[in-house]
Structure 1
């Protein structure tokens, strides 16, 4: 066997041994969770403490992802995991890991954001039954799922949003824009008397025999 052939064989066997050692170590260190599923490494996701909150939303509260039956919490512009689950069989999404960021309200019952595990922008539409229908333009493929409400932070605001009675962003009146109540004691624009001299005209002498009156 030539020297180059021996080198190729040694390289292949070394790589195979290293892969087997790495796999064995990962399996040995992995902890079963989520009903017996095993995920080798934590997902590369930020924790909720690392993602600042923005403005509160009518949908803030606890929700269940319909496709996997796991709970998340939407809170002021981001959503983080409450329950753990395995993503792509190898990644372990842990509690408090942020799964959706940059959530904002785009209209009555309409929301947008970025799904971190699926690596794509999402759009959500609040349904009449209170669920949130979500579509994601994922990096691998498009995905759809439904968020089912468990409890919301502000039930009254959520009910108004669900019924479509909530104002759109930017529709709120500016301070001072509201019409003032009519005051019967306050007359409308006063009309000057015809014989009343204007403010910019000198007064007329009542008696031409008197000395002229200074206009200013």
Structure 2
């Protein structure tokens, strides 16, 4: 487990094109440039359950690099995916306070993005997150990665991106995390909400 203050950027795109075609273009055209950027840590793209779009998550060590990369991604998407995605993406930026990776082997196959509103200062609930919430996800047999942070633009909004080998373990972990949070309304006054979830179609880590 690490408490390095990395930066997470989540982008959700509406799309009409086949996710497989989107993934192929990203792997060939965008991913190589992302991996060459200083401080690259991870990049995931998932097809959103129920259809209608894709969601991506990029993790960099440095906020300035992350913001510059976001501008590059938007320009690349407009030039290379204009026939497959529609409109501007919804972008969420977060400062990561924790990240945790599984030691056991497995595929990064399912992503779940979660938000929690109404939080107090990060240092007030971070120890409980480490002690109670992280183990719930990490102990799932299909757990792969977990990134937890705070929204840069909305005070009191927590964000988490979790990666699993399959949907069933991701769903089970989310339900257990929500139940644990419900027992501490002093720390988590509102239930977590799933912003997006789906099958990972592009995955890369440093």
**TM-score, with normalisation over the residues of structure 1?**
0.21
Q: Please state which structure has a larger fraction of its residues in strand.
A: 2
User: Which structure shows the higher helix fraction?
Assistant: 2
TM normalised by structure 2 equals: 0.22
| Greater RCO (CA < 8 Å, at least 6 residues apart) | 2
| Larger Rg computed on CA atoms | 1
